[in-house]
Structure 1
């Protein structure tokens, strides 16, 4: 199966879906329209469709006789980003954008399913296409599983997913280890004692304490982590007060840590708490700081055997020169949740950057717009056919593989 095998009507339909979703993005937990559009497409392809699984989740089941069950996961949600691509099909929703490519993933998954419908004489089994809500806030996979995803629709023999990234459009990349890091996001409240800006000695300024915390946290990477280990710590927000002449009572920070092992994440979280408590003590804060974990994700480590099947199918579809190695990314996903109870998974990276963007970045200074950027704009003419082909070829290969080649690492 190659890109040239995609019938024009299939590609045209998938492109129409992509343009529609890109122009009408919805935030995590509010994906009602997106879910309805995907559900309609799945019903057109003959799937038995269930809506409202774990929120706005959509499950389409395509049965084709006895055989393995392969689940294809795509995501429905967008980001609170204001689009600056200048595309004619840019977002029409103020302050919301498909800046991570979930629209591309969904269109590619839908197109792949249509190809499988049209080639059902070549395979047997069941394909489950899952449109997952709330991936960006790392809650959608858990919500769908808690709503009985596997109990209601069957535990799959393998789960497949792909995610676009700023690699050359028309290529795919596979990891030979962790594909994405695990993460923990944390909210911290630092309690001070408010007062007059002209009498700071009568107050305990939480802004100064928070500033010291932010600076000190940077040493967790630079001085407490081996240079050979990939770790990222980011303080994404710091809020305190609203007037220049008032020292506030508290400061609030939101931060995230990312690493490629659970022990490292635990070490970092303990160190974060140690530093925050120590800086609060040094400042004489009247109350202990508060810590709230807002999200967590596991390290994304696909199954070796199923990943090999997917990679082999891609090398046959695209040629080995268009299938590369992925070094791992400190982006995070909740996709590892679908590996619950030992379900094997495969996950690969789909190139999305066009030639024009690569040339613009040729000076080595101007970066290619990455995911989550207001300028992120996949080269849909090349990325979408490749995404359809990659997902269809991998799904077909897993469906046709002997049962003893799946789930063995």
Structure 2
């Protein structure tokens, strides 16, 4: 569905600083460079909080564009007066996070973000540049590694955008902050950078912008969601207690499997009967583990649950409801207070993402005018999660926007919609292989246009 705001935003745009054809031509001329960079990242993926080589390669690229490399975090960021290129790159922020700053006269400060980490997954795409990497994660577990969520394309798009903006410095004014973010896949990297002083040691942005390559959109298209775009994501564990017994004498125990099953069923009423139908929420039990043998009633069952919502009030109501239901089912089975279920909610949750509506209309209107409105359109909100949300959830209350750059084969999607073929593999599949040329070109073009809109003279 096309968004009505695009036409309005396009009408409100100032004189466009560069013709769309000029940007498209420049992006096309630079494609081979960006594609080779993408292949490098794809062949050399790194797990969360292990992104040292990815950050180093990005730093090298930015140094080649006129930025200066500075390692370590140190104290307050200060302008390097003696450096004529007026740029600084700092590695090691929040782990292997990378921050690059370039000042180009007076104006707003814009932060562009790319995430760097890959997934513990064996690649099965068959690509000539497929990953063969096996690594150990930050918890000490060994696993094959793959860029199955397209963070390789995010890094390449960020560098490609930086190359365009450096070439077009006469067409924008302000401060550009580029970040390579670690550990998005485990939801900890954005907060790690913020806690390490991202907004205190470096220029505080007026806007934060990002794109994500999508396996649910056709390659070359750009999609977006104003307002709530991505969900709060909570992980909840319920350890259901019981009294073990022989399977032939259930009256001698308290069966935690039956209690846990009743909890699972009762949880289905949380969203359907306690949440406003216009306020989305999801409670999914993804794992039910209990027992050892056919004829043994165990003394514990374990449920693993994912909880999704947009509004923080809905989130809290769902989490409170899970605990209430678990304890109520245990009491109804006659369990004493010392055998109440243990409900653990992971403290490191991914908060929901809200795309600032004014910023969204402005940026996506500019991108639609440049790429064509038939390629830029609104998509429904997703119950997926992204820790990009953290950049807008600080006390500074900075407007943020994340949009999607399609990476999927257009014909394969068409056949799937017509019911003639199954949906093609998407993000987090070992078979996910974005269409690189269309995806990278659209990503660089859109990010460049978005940056020029926010920084343009």
TM-score (normalised: structure 2): 0.81
Match of 1:171 among 221, 229, 233: 221
Matched, 1:291 2:343: yes
223-232 or 288-297, which moves further after superposition? 223-232
Match of 2:186 among 112, 137, 160: 137
Taking the TM superposition and a 5 Å limit, the aligned residue runs for 1:93-104 are 93-94=133-134, 95-104=144-153
Q: 2:374 maps to which residue?
A: 321
Matched, 1:17 2:37: yes
**For the Cα contact (< 8 Å) 1:232–1:259, is it kept in 2?**
yes
Matched, 1:88 2:122: no
* Superposed CA offset, 1:263-320 (max 9, x none): 2111111111111112222344452222222232333112223222211220122011
Taking the TM superposition and a 5 Å limit, the aligned residue runs for 1:238-257 are 238-242=288-292, 246-257=296-307
391-400 or 354-363, which moves further after superposition? 354-363
How far 1:155 moved relative to its partner? 0.7
Matched, 1:357 2:378: no
**For the Cα contact (< 8 Å) 2:412–2:423, is it kept in 1?**
no
Q: 2:95 maps to which residue?
A: 55
TM-score (normalised: structure 1): 0.90
CA distance in 1, matches of 2:219, 2:122: 24
**For the Cα contact (< 8 Å) 1:179–1:326, is it kept in 2?**
no
CA distance in 1, matches of 2:345, 2:352: 17
Unaligned runs of 5+ in 2: 1-19, 68-87, 135-143
Alpha carbons of 1:288 and 1:33: their partners in 2 closer, same or farther (altered >3 Å)? farther
CA distance in 2, matches of 1:181, 1:227: 16
**For the Cα contact (< 8 Å) 2:275–2:314, is it kept in 1?**
no
How far 1:395 moved relative to its partner? 0.7
Alpha carbons of 1:19 and 1:245: their partners in 2 closer, same or farther (altered >3 Å)? farther
CA distance in 2, matches of 1:80, 1:214: 29
Report SS of the residue matched to 1:134.
coil
Match of 1:275 among 307, 325, 328: 325
Provide the aligned C-alpha RMSD in A: 2.2
* Superposed CA offset, 1:163-215 (max 9, x none): 12211111111223211122322222222334555554444333333333223
Structure showing greater radius of gyration is 2
Q: 2:66 maps to which residue?
A: 46
How far 1:66 moved relative to its partner? 3.1
Match of 1:30 among 38, 50, 58: 50
**For the Cα contact (< 8 Å) 1:206–1:249, is it kept in 2?**
yes
* Superposed CA offset, 1:84-115 (max 9, x none): 32222222135332222211111111110111
Alpha carbons of 1:54 and 1:195: their partners in 2 closer, same or farther (altered >3 Å)? farther
**For the Cα contact (< 8 Å) 1:326–1:349, is it kept in 2?**
no
**For the Cα contact (< 8 Å) 1:74–1:102, is it kept in 2?**
yes
* Superposed CA offset, 1:218-238 (max 9, x none): 232344445444322222333
Alpha carbons of 1:97 and 1:222: their partners in 2 closer, same or farther (altered >3 Å)? farther
Q: 2:170 maps to which residue?
A: 121
CA distance in 2, matches of 1:239, 1:83: 29
Taking the TM superposition and a 5 Å limit, the aligned residue runs for 1:130-279 are 130-165=179-214, 166-197=216-247, 199-242=249-292, 246-279=296-329
